[in-house]
Structure 1
Amino acid sequence: MGIYFTLTILIGISAVFSYLNHRFIKMPFVIGLFFLSTLLSLFIISSKLWNQYYYSEIKDIIEHADISDYILNIMLGFLLFAGSLHTEWSDIKRQWKPISLFAFGGVLISSATVATLMYGLCLALGVYVEFIYCLIFGALISPTDPIAVLGILAKANVPKKIESIIIGESLFNDGVGVVVFIALLTTLKSGSGEIDYGAFGVLFIQEAVGGTLFGLILGFILYRLLRSIDNYEAEVLLTIAFVMAGYATCIHFHISGPLAMVIMGLFVGNYKNKSAMSDHSQEYVHKFWTLLDVILNAILFIIIAFVLVVVDLKSIYICIALISILLVLLSRTLVVYLPKLLLPRFTNIDRSEATILIWGGLRGGLSITLVLSLPSGESKELLTIATYFCVVFSILVQGLTIGKLAKRIAKTDAAPQTNTQL
């Protein structure tokens, strides 16, 4: 299937599902598209009961579509730049302490916790999975997904402080998660079974520090170029070129492309933006990236829903996947409450805010993309199903209820103050 034909199908499905969601279902945009795509995937799976030929054809197309390659190497850079471009750096800077704890230490703690619990769960249920695979699962499921977070929290009416922490965490912790994932995947493919901590440290510095510095350099150069002209057509093209060329360069030199795009987007969107672009140019640049963000989000959440078609839904795998949702929530609780208890002044979050932070740690397309890049085998099948179930729960359950949870907590916190005044 050609690229143009594939895009035609994806855009067509996106348009139809967007209309149906807006006209009838009225869910938040990305949640509605993911929900309808999941229903379509279930319909395709059911077709093997009444038309095995068409089911096999569709499954074969999806299996050979290199989904993880398209998302990681093409779409992710655009999505992260678009998201960070519209993020207020001043809001993130005010919450840098909890963001830094959750985005760096939190990913490592969560990865180790999920891996240990997952390994014990599989042993208890009689399914043997190497511990390295459990560590990989912990690394890919621990980072909160910036694409899911930015697409859902914007309309959830979460308190500004908590929204800033969750968004800031999600923008940075995916870089840490990807670095840990790459190190573990390299160990797996080497066949040694042991992690080389020296090589891991070098890789972390190369990916994370290199991506940060390169993002700052790209952002500054782009800022200077935008400042030197006042033509919105050229300025939009410049931003596109920097995202494409910058991300390709990161891939070539093995530095963190996601982190570089986040830094560049924050730099361009916040550093002296009034002097970089006129109001007219800013309007066009931001509107272009907002629209592109919407289109790519639509395509992304339709693609990841189709993953359900290519996995073997064994009952024991489904059982492990359902329990893994609880394991991920437990690790998220640990990540939020451990710094709160040990460093209360540093994190500066109360119990109500911690509850929202736990429930607002959404997983999404990044986790699905990473698990699809694993070598084929039974372990990949299990982890793909577990990851998919965690993402479905995160988007459809947590995403739909985070706003209601925030509203209920706000009412509960306000009640004692009202009674006191009376």
Structure 2
Amino acid sequence: MRGAFFWANIDKIMLLAFVGTFVSSLVVGLLVFAAESVLTLPGGHPGFSLAEALTFGALISATDPVATLAIFEQLNVDPHVFNIVFGESVLNDVVSIVLFHTFANCIHHTDGNIGSTMATAVMNFAFIFAGSSMVGFFLGCCSALLFKHVRLSTQAVEHGPKLELAVFLIFCYAPFLLAECLGLSGIVAILFTGTAMKRYTFNNLSLAAKQTVETFVSLLAHVAETLIFIDLGTSAWQTFRASLALVIWIFLSCLVARAAHVYPIGWLLNASRPAYPRSRFETPDMHMVWFAGLRGAIAYALSSQFPGPHRRCVMSITMWMVLSSVWILGGATVPVLKWLGIRRMESEQLKQLSLTLEPAVNRLRLVHWDRKYMLPFLVRNVAELTCESVEMQENYSEEAAGAESARSGIRMGLVTSHRQPHVAPGDALLSTLPEADDDAVDEAE
């Protein structure tokens, strides 16, 4: 994920991840709660209570579009769409986890009043999310200061990068323990710790330690996700504790819930005046973001923690929701990309477009604060990062000057005659880039 594209679409990502996930949880939960005639549970159990329905809505709203993102990367899909889907999925998981635990706490502490239940959930969500994020970010910054002022690689030469890796991993896990001890969310704390450590701590490591950390953390991520899907696959052979009508109803509810927030948020963003130059949220892009709402490991892991007598039923429903979304939505990603006409580009074009977005991104207050205050305070060799960025910008400027006349005659991507988007700085270059060959799509299929 290139930082320029992430920050250029930060408004879309934040609204989809926070507002969108909350809306999705409510819509799914209320649809499940309202359809008691369809949701007849096996074994004579009564239907879901309101708190149980909202808890299920929160866990099933956790998206995990791994298959979609893999196809996006293979086909060099428009980086704006890629980063919207990726950024939303990362933050969406965190919001879903906090909402899940918030609603779960209301299952045994509800008076049946919808307003009271929702007010309690909102207050708990705000407290847990704010507290967890502060704990995680604070410890991440502490790790950056430690590696900045203590050169572990020179003080323990005989250990090589292993000592740096060990201390790095301790700081990765410590926020989880601290947050859980404080009654907060350890997973949310880890997310913000990881963000801070990637931005600041990682740049203070030795070269050997950087390579070791990247390899080891990537290995851990793949192993963890593989184990969850192994558990998911073996669970598919267990007794199915829900009706087919129940699964179909919830699958359709998830599609409706995703549409209920993706399109209104997109229309709202397009109607508002942006605080900084950005691309419009075009209708085909909205369709693709809506279609990329696959369910995955996070939803299934949360279902195993569902409180109450309906846990086995919820696990069965979630398992089939994950499998169905991966098979149906993931398998149809390539044809949908072709049908919607989503733009694609090569790596060199991606690099050039990223550099054109830098001036606009640098004007963001958060980015400005980070580069002016946080980086000098937490990173040892800020000058090296700055020089590298300046060198890339100068190289691009020289190349762009010679290629400007050639690019001016290229037609606009896949934009049709009836679609007249607002072109922001940086998107002008994107719209003039040539399309990737359709053979790449055929090979992917």
User: Is the shorter-chain TM-score for this pair beyond 0.5, marking a shared fold?
Assistant: yes
Please tell me the residue identity of whatever aligns with 1:341: W
Match 2:177 to one of 236, 242, 248:
248
**Which residue is equivalent to 2:330?**
399
SS at match of 1:362: coil
Which whole-Å deviations, capped at 9, do the CAs of 1:102-142 have from their partners, x for residues lacking one? Answer: 11111111111112222333325656332322211211111
CA contact (8 A) 1:92 1:168 kept: yes
The aligned counterpart of 2:197 is: 268
User: For residue 114 of structure 1, what is the aligned residue in structure 2?
Assistant: 28
Kept in 1, the 8 Å contact 2:110–2:117? The answer is no
Change (3 A) 1:94 1:271: farther
The alignment partner of 2:414 has SS state of helix
- Correspondence 1:147-226 to 2 at 5 A: 154-155=73-74, 157-190=76-109, 192-194=111-113, 195-197=116-118, 199-226=120-147
1:331 aligns with 2:252: no
Distance 1:311 1:149, change over 3 A: farther
Matches of residues 297-376 of structure 1 in structure 2 within 5 Å? 297-314=225-242, 317-344=243-270, 345=272, 348-376=280-308
* Contact kept? 1:219, 1:268, Cα under 8 Å: yes
1:293 to 221, 241, 255: 221
Q: Give the distance between the partners of 1:251 and 1:341, measured in 2 at CA.
A: 39
For 2:186 and 2:73, how far apart are their aligned partners in 1? 24
CA 1:157/1:385 → structure 2, altered by over 3 Å: closer, same or farther?
A: farther
Kindly provide the CA deviation profile for residues 162-210 of structure 1, in whole angstroms up to 9, marking residues without a partner as x. Answer: 1211221122222222222222211112364444455434422331111
2:285 and 2:342 in contact (8 A); partners too: no
The alpha-carbon distance between structure 1 residues 169 and 88, as it changes in their structure 2 partners (threshold 3 A), is same
* Residue identity opposite 2:195 in structure 1: L
Match of 1:414 in 2: 414
Does the 8 A contact of 2:305 with 2:311 survive in 1?
no
**How many angstroms does 1:350 deviate by?**
0.4
How far off is 1:312 after superposition? 3.6
Residues 38-66 of structure 1: CA deviation (Å, up to 9, x unaligned): xxxxxxxxxxxxxxxxxxxxxxxxxxxxx
What's the CA shift for 1:332?
Answer: 0.9
Q: Distance in 2 between matches of 1:151 and 1:414?
A: 22
1:393 shift after superposition = 1.8
Aligned positions of 1:54-65 closer than 5 A: none
- Verify: 1:96 aligned to 2:10, yes or no: yes
What TM-score do you get using the length of structure 2 for normalisation?
0.66
**Retained in 2: the 8 A contact 1:325–1:389?**
no
Cα deviation digits, residues 78-97 of structure 1 (max 9, x gap): xxxxxxxxx55443222110
Shift of 1:358: 0.9
* Alpha-carbon distance, 1:368 to partner: 1.4
User: What is the aligned partner in structure 2 of residue 13 from structure 1?
Assistant: none
Q: 2:63 is paired with a residue of what secondary structure? A: coil
Once the two structures are TM-superposed, the CA of residue 226 in structure 1 deviates from its matched residue by 2.7
C-alpha displacement of 1:155 = 4.5
Deviates more, 1:330-339 or 1:187-196: 187-196
Q: CA deviation at 1:256?
A: 2.2
Q: Which letter does structure 1 place at the counterpart of 2:260? A: L
Alignment deviations for residues 309-361 of structure 1 (CA, whole Å, 9 cap, x no partner): 444445xx222112311210121112110112233145831011111101112
Q: Give the partner amino acid of 2:259.
A: T
Tell me, yes or no, if the aligned pair for 1:146 and 1:171 is still in contact at 8 Å: no
Letter in 1 for 2:178: T
The letter of the residue matching 1:118 is V
TM-score (normalised: structure 1): 0.69
In structure 2, what is the Cα distance between the partners aligned to 1:145 and 1:298? 14
**Pair 415,375 (structure 1): closer, same or farther in 2 beyond 3 Å:** closer
Alignment RMSD? 3.0
State the AA in 2 paired with 1:246.
P
- 2: distance between equivalents of 1:216 and 1:177? 20
The 2-side partners of 1:331 and 1:196 are apart by 20
Q: Distance in 1 between matches of 2:143 and 2:198?
A: 11
Bigger mean CA deviation after superposition, 253-262 or 185-194: 185-194
Identity %: 22
| The structure with more radius of gyration | 2
1:322–1:386: 8 Å Cα contact kept in structure 2? no
CA 1:203–1:120 in structure 2 vs 1: closer, same or farther (change >3 Å)? Answer: closer
Aligned 1:40-51 pairs, distance under 5 A: none
Instruction: Provide closer, same or farther for how the CA distance between residues 281 and 142 of structure 1 changes in structure 2, counting only shifts above 3 A.
Output: same
Cα drift, residue 410 of structure 1 = 3.2
Q: Is the 8 A contact 2:58 2:99 kept in 1?
A: yes
Residues 175 and 256 of structure 1 are in contact (CA less than 8 Å); yes or no, is this contact kept in structure 2?
no
Q: Which has the higher helix share?
A: 1
Task: Note closer, same or farther for the CA distance 1:288–1:155 as it changes in structure 2 (3 Å cut).
Answer: farther
Highest RCO, 1 vs 2 (Cα 8 Å, sep ≥ 6): 1
User: How far apart are 1:273 and its partner, in Å?
Assistant: 4.5
- The number of residue pairs the alignment matches comes to 329
1:111 and 1:138 in contact (8 A); partners too = yes
Look up the SS of the partner of 1:122 in the other structure: coil
